[in-house]
């Protein structure tokens, strides 16, 4: 058995974790909304048409913020189509996903649903086919108390209290040629700065996220961030990051080393932000909103064959396996390790579409990736502590010297619990990890592990629990981390 040492020092604090790093995303795409969270007439739905089985699974995830309504969809969206009496709402073509959008569900319904699951809206505005004027109108409709045309319109739609939406995204992936109304960095930077000004003049309490690159492989990645930030630095609070990971070559060691890709991406965006800060002689620190991340590749071939203009087709329905859950657990560790700069992150998405939760007409079930997300959202709140890992490493096709173990610790908000998250990427051997703890006295509570499954094992409607965490006894001293496992080690601080 391989040996390792995990060193934790109570003084080695990375940051207080912003709980919004456990955010998620619902886009008008495929069956995320229709047939996912909303399905009037289904026996599992409540009086509002919301799927109760889905809401139960979402509540367990304790998701603090959910981005809406897109994604690519938002770049052609008229927010007015989704408010007011349903019988007046127009059916429109959605040119993001080449489907038909009925607008039966809009921000009114989404807000009601959020209140039932205990989450908050992160609203994206359309800076593709629209601009600053519709963006500031949406802020007024949503957040202004009363006495103006748009705030009174909201009230006439049955919502007296303002929505009080705090976090707003200034468009989506505006660098991407696939985006409706795609822009150069200068074009986007100017429009985003003007939209930001108007939106904050309408409601000074909001926070704004500017679009970073669609992913780190974009030819303009880096220069896009520099140019956009040079326009918006004084007006926004975050820059976005998006990245999806896959294992198309069936190379699991390389796939599991994608945590390094995410880590490098974050650090390079941080360095661009800090360079612009220097250039502007600014005191303000720019934070990151990693508002789309996940594994996404299983459904690509299927989706390439989809017919146009369907309503809520099965699209982006990746069925996740055990190794995907290991990577998602590792990516969550990476986000916590960077929580000094990553203040928001959204697992994309939440239901049916590249999602931890799947539905059919008869029920809902957790995909494999649901479990690391649920456990980290639950035990990953408080102060992030660095874990110095001394262990063997391997070379993957993308990264050299990848340590088999990846780890971070979280001291709970109340200070009474320490949770150590550990990914073991060694596919052949268990690893025995010793602890070197400074400044904390710990008593073991429990070891929760995702382990012992085949790498390609999946959950489905008939076997919803094939991949699920197991609880094991946690003893004083060393701990055995099974080969190919993701682990949550919980200790009481005494
Ligand atoms: O999450 C699916 C899509 O991925 C989003 O609409 C888009 O922003 C990204 O390219």
According to DSSP, the β-strands at 99-101 and 357-360 are unpaired
Q: Is 291 in the pocket of ligand 1 (CB under 6 A)?
A: no
User: What pLDDT is recorded for position 438?
Assistant: 97
Each residue's pLDDT tens digit, 357-405: 999 999 999 999 999 999 999 999 999 999 999 999 999 999 999 999 9
Each residue's pLDDT tens digit, 95-126: 999 999 999 999 999 999 999 999 999 999 99
Q: Is 27 in the pocket of ligand 1 (CB under 6 A)?
A: yes
User: What pLDDT is recorded for position 24?
Assistant: 98
Is 144 in a helix, a strand, or coil? coil
Position in ligand 1 atom list of the atom nearest CA 349:
1
CA 255, distance to chain mean position in Å, is 19
Q: Residue 137 — very low, low, confident or very high, per pLDDT cuts 50/70/90? A: very high
CA 316, distance to chain mean position in Å, is 16
Mutate to test the pocket of ligand 1, among 28, 32, 72 (most ligand atoms within 8 A of CB): 72
Q: Is 49 in the pocket of ligand 1 (CB under 6 A)?
A: no
Q: Residue 262 — very low, low, confident or very high, per pLDDT cuts 50/70/90? A: very high
- The rounded percent of the chain whose pLDDT value lies above 70 is 100
Mutate to test the pocket of ligand 1, among 242, 289, 291, 300 (most ligand atoms within 8 A of CB): 242
Q: Which residues of 114-236 form beta strands (DSSP E)?
A: 120-125, 167-170, 207-210
User: What residues pair up with 319 in beta bridges, in sequence order?
Assistant: none
- The rounded percent of the chain whose pLDDT value lies above 90 is 100
Active site residues: 173, 292
Q: What angle do CA 55, 61, 67 make, to 5 degrees?
A: 80
For residues 103 and 91, the answer to whether their CB atoms sit within 8 Å is yes
Helix 322-337, helix 370-379: angle, nearest 10:
30
**Half-sphere exposure of 158 toward its Cβ, with a 13 Å CA cutoff?**
9
In the numeric block, which tokens belong to residue 413?
């908000």
- Gap from CA of 391 to ligand 1 centroid (Å): 36
Position in ligand 1 atom list of the atom nearest CA 348:
1
For residues 335 and 290, the answer to whether their CB atoms sit within 8 Å is yes
Q: Is 72 in the pocket of ligand 1 (CB under 6 A)?
A: yes
Q: Cα(367)–Cα(457) distance, rounded to whole angstroms?
A: 11
- Gap from CA of 244 to ligand 1 centroid (Å): 9
Residue 283 burial by CB count (10 A; 0-12/13-18/19+): exposed, middle or buried? exposed
User: What pLDDT is recorded for position 304?
Assistant: 95
pTM, two decimal places: 0.97
Instruction: Tell me which residue has its CA closest to atom 9 in ligand 1.
Output: 71
Is 309 in a helix, a strand, or coil? coil
Each residue's pLDDT tens digit, 164-189: 999 999 999 999 999 999 999 999 99
Position in ligand 1 atom list of the atom nearest CA 71:
6
In the numeric block, which tokens belong to residue 30?
């495929």
Q: Is 172 in the pocket of ligand 1 (CB under 6 A)?
A: yes
Position in ligand 1 atom list of the atom nearest CA 215:
10
Q: Residue 416 — very low, low, confident or very high, per pLDDT cuts 50/70/90? A: very high
Q: Cα(433)–Cα(2) distance, rounded to whole angstroms?
A: 9
Q: What angle do CA 169, 173, 174 make, to 5 degrees?
A: 95
Q: Residue 468 — very low, low, confident or very high, per pLDDT cuts 50/70/90? A: very high
Instruction: Tell me which residue has its CA closest to atom 1 in ligand 1.
Output: 348
Q: Residue 14 — very low, low, confident or very high, per pLDDT cuts 50/70/90? A: very high
Mutate to test the pocket of ligand 1, among 173, 178, 217, 349 (most ligand atoms within 8 A of CB): 173
User: What pLDDT is recorded for position 6?
Assistant: 98
- Gap from CA of 277 to ligand 1 centroid (Å): 29
- Gap from CA of 288 to ligand 1 centroid (Å): 18
Each residue's pLDDT tens digit, 15-63: 999 999 999 999 999 999 999 999 999 999 999 999 999 999 999 999 9
**Average pLDDT over all residues of the chain:** 98
């Amino acid at each position: 058995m391989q040996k390792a040492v995990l060193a934790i020092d109570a003084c080695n604090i990375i940051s207080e974790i912003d709980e919004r790093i456990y955010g998620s995303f619902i886009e008008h795409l495929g069956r995320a909304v229709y047939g996912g969270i909303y399905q009037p007439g289904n026996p599992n739905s409540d009086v509002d048409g919301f799927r109760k089985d889905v809401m139960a699974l979402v509540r367990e995830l304790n998701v603090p913020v959910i981005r809406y309504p897109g994604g690519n969809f938002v770049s052609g969206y008229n927010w007015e189509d989704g408010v007011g009496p349903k019988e007046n709402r127009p059916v429109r073509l959605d040119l993001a996903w080449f489907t038909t959008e009925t607008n039966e569900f809009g921000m009114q319904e989404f807000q009601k649903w959020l209140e039932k699951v205990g989450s908050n809206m992160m609203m994206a505005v359309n800076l593709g086919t629209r601009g600053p004027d519709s963006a500031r109108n949406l802020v007024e409709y949503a957040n202004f108390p009363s006495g103006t045309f748009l705030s009174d319109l909201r009230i006439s739609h049955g919502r007296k209290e303002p929505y009080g939406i705090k976090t707003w995204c200034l468009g989506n992936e505006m660098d991407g040629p696939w985006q409706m109304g795609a822009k150069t960095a200068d074009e986007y930077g100017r429009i985003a700065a003007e939209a930001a000004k108007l939106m904050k003049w309408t409601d000074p309490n909001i926070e704004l996220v500017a679009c970073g690159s669609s992913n780190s492989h974009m030819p303009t990645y880096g220069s896009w961030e520099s140019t956009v930030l040079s326009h918006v630095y004084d007006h926004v609070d975050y820059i976005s990051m998006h990245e999806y990971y896959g294992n198309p070559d069936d190379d699991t060691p390389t796939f599991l080393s994608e945590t390094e890709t995410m880590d490098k991406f974050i650090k390079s965006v941080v360095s661009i932000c800090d360079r612009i800060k220097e250039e502007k002689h600014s005191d303000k620190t720019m934070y990151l909103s990693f508002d789309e991340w996940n594994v996404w590749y299983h459904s690509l071939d299927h989706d390439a064959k989809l017919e146009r203009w369907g309503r809520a087709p099965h699209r982006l329905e990746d069925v996740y396996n055990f190794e995907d859950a290991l990577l998602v657990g590792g990516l969550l560790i990476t986000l916590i390790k960077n929580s000094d700069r990553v203040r928001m992150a959204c697992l994309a998405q939440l239901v049916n579409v590249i999602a931890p939760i799947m539905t059919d007409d008869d029920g809902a079930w957790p995909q494999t990736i649901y479990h690391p997300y649920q456990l980290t959202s639950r035990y990953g709140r408080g102060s992030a502590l660095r874990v110095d890992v001394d262990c063997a490493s391997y070379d993957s096709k993308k990264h050299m010297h990848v340590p088999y173990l990846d780890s971070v610790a979280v001291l709970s908000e109340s200070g009474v619990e320490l949770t150590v998250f550990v990914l073991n990427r060694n596919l052949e051997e268990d690893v025995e990890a010793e602890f070197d703890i400074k400044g904390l006295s710990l008593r073991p509570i429990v070891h929760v592990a995702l382990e012992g499954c085949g790498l390609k094992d999946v959950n489905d409607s008939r076997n919803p629990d094939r991949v699920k965490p197991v609880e094991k006894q946690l003893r004083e001293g060393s701990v055995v981390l099974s080969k190919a496992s993701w682990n949550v080690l919980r200790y009481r601080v005494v």
